Structure 1
Amino acid sequence: MQRYFPIILICLTLGLAPFFPEPHIVGKLRWIWGGAKGMTLLDWGDTLMHGAPWVILLFYLMRDIFKKIRTD
């Protein structure tokens, strides 16, 4: 758990900021799921910036899970 602390901290700060009225990444994902009409390159970059910590966390978790499965 301690090795995940930095990436979890980044997910909870950069990945969710700004927090009110809703996390920024949630709004961007809704926009994309709604067809992404009107999204500019800046919006896509913003989505990448706020989404990257979550992708990295998912990668680390999957890597460790597969490593655990292989050793058992």
Structure 2
Amino acid sequence: MRNLFDRISLPLLIVLCLSLGLAPFSPEPHLLEKLRMLATGNLTKLIDIFDLLLHGTPWLLLGIKLILALTRKVEQ
């Protein structure tokens, strides 16, 4: 699993987070809107769930990559 995340470049993940992860920039990013819907229990439509996955995946991948990098440094 670490090999897979080693092959994904950190700058690419950052660009994905800033573009797809925060799109659209106005009036508010879809990710924030969908997380609010999830918190209030209004995330019921399939298109909204797909939207959450689409806009949240870059952030999830970036978080996993950073955690793996930190644990690798601790192990050394």
Q: TM-score, normalised by structure 2?
A: 0.84
Coordinate RMSD, CA, aligned: 1.0
Amino acid at match of 1:23: P
Classify the secondary structure of the residue corresponding to 1:17.
Answer: coil
Which residue of structure 1 lines up, in the alignment, with residue 30 of structure 2? Answer: 24
Amino acid at match of 2:50: G
Give the C-alpha shift of residue 4 in structure 1. Answer: 1.4
Which residue of structure 1 lines up, in the alignment, with residue 40 of structure 2? Answer: 34
Distance 1:6 1:70 in 2: 25
Please give the residue correspondences for 1:37-52 in structure 2 after superposition, counting only pairs within 5 Å: 39-52=44-57
Which residue of structure 2 lines up, in the alignment, with residue 64 of structure 1? Answer: 69
> Percent identity over the alignment?
41
Gapped regions of structure 2 (runs ≥ 5)? 1-8
Runs of 4+ in 1 over 6 A off after TM superposition: none
Amino acid at match of 2:27: P
Give the C-alpha shift of residue 55 in structure 1. Answer: 0.1
Q: TM-score, normalised by structure 1?
A: 0.89
